[in-house]
Amino acid sequence: MNLVASKPKLIALSVSLLMVACTTGAQALESQVLPAQSACFVSKEQSVSVSLEWAETAEQRRIGLMGRDKLEEHSGMLFDYNSLQSAENSFWMRNTLIALDIAYVNEQGSIVAINRMAPCKSVAASNCPIYPAGAEFVQAIEMNAGFFSRYQLTLGDRLQTAPALCASRP
């Protein structure tokens, strides 16, 4: 075998493999930042203001908070489905680097379930656990882990997405 003649082929193969590796790595770090809107969670005792990025398309919901290494305390992501979703519908934490709480909200705006989700840095979805809602919902809101307990928000409390209604206490 003539090594001098095959050197360009080896270089081309090496470059190709490097490009595939870089592309795979870029997909593993896939992330997005969506426009945020003011909202609040309302309980009998308080109103907690938040800033929520709205994931409305299937692609935005698929990416969610992937690749983020932090989330500000009163910031999160709202997954808006515009139709009733089954209690069996699940969320995953594929390629998600931070622990999150997720609250599921029904058509009346009430929280019907809250789950804690652990980070899963794997790019393979099959290596990550799934988290079923456990109740029918139309929206899901991801916040930093511990957010709902820290602010004593629980089942039956409401999500208010009209900012004008957030300023007044219940």
Question: Does the pLDDT at position 25 exceed 90?
Answer: no
**pLDDT for the residue numbered 161:** 93
Domain ranges of the chain: 1-30, 36-165
pLDDT digits (tens, 9 = 90+) for 149-165: 999 999 999 999 988 88
Averaged pLDDT for residues 38-50? 95
Question: Does the pLDDT at position 51 exceed 80?
Answer: yes
CA pair distance 139, 37, nearest whole angstrom: 15
Helix (H) or strand (E) holding 24: helix 3-28
Residue 96 near residue 68 (C-beta atoms within 8 A): yes
CA pair distance 59, 166, nearest whole angstrom: 29
- Token pair for residue 16? 């190709």
CA pair distance 114, 145, nearest whole angstrom: 11
User: Tell me, which fold does domain 36-165 have in CATH?
Assistant: Jelly Rolls (2.60.120)
Instruction: Identify the three-state secondary structure at position 110.
Output: strand
pLDDT digits (tens, 9 = 90+) for 53-84: 999 988 988 888 888 999 999 999 999 999 99
Question: Does the pLDDT at position 87 exceed 80?
Answer: yes
CA pair distance 116, 99, nearest whole angstrom: 8
CA pair distance 54, 1, nearest whole angstrom: 59
pLDDT band at 94; cut points 50, 70, 90 = confident
pLDDT band at 34; cut points 50, 70, 90 = confident
CA pair distance 31, 129, nearest whole angstrom: 20
Q: Is the pTM of this model over 0.85?
A: no
- Token pair for residue 155? 């089942």
Mean pLDDT (the chain, rounded): 83
